[in-house]
Amino acid sequence: MIILHLHWQPPSQVAETGLFCFWAEDSAAPSPSLKIDRRRGEALPHPFALGQAQLAAHLKSLTGVNVRLQRVGIALRLPTTCRP
């Protein structure tokens, strides 16, 4: 199963345009052994993320439109556990 995500990044200045940031996860990907690179103290790249070509193909299959994707990096803090 492929799960598609979207994030709207609003412009930081009036003269700029915003970005739609798409990414997708593949549930068939193998589970990672670590979530944090302890040497660097930061999160590793998303272990279940589809590659850029796979994402473009998936978006085309959904919309029928050839999309041009631009690789950008964003850091999101997503909830991973619920604490009472």
pLDDT in tens, 25-58: 888 877 766 555 566 666 656 778 888 888 899 8
Three-state DSSP state, 49: strand
pLDDT of residue 44: 59
Q: Please answer whether residues 48 and 17 qualify as being in contact, where contact means their C-beta atoms are separated by less than 8 angstroms.
A: no
**CA nearest neighbour of 26 among 56, 49, 46:** 49
Place of tokens 């798409």: 22
pLDDT of residue 23: 86
Three-state DSSP state, 76: coil
pTM exceeding 0.85:
no
CB-CB neighbours of 58 under 10 Å: 17
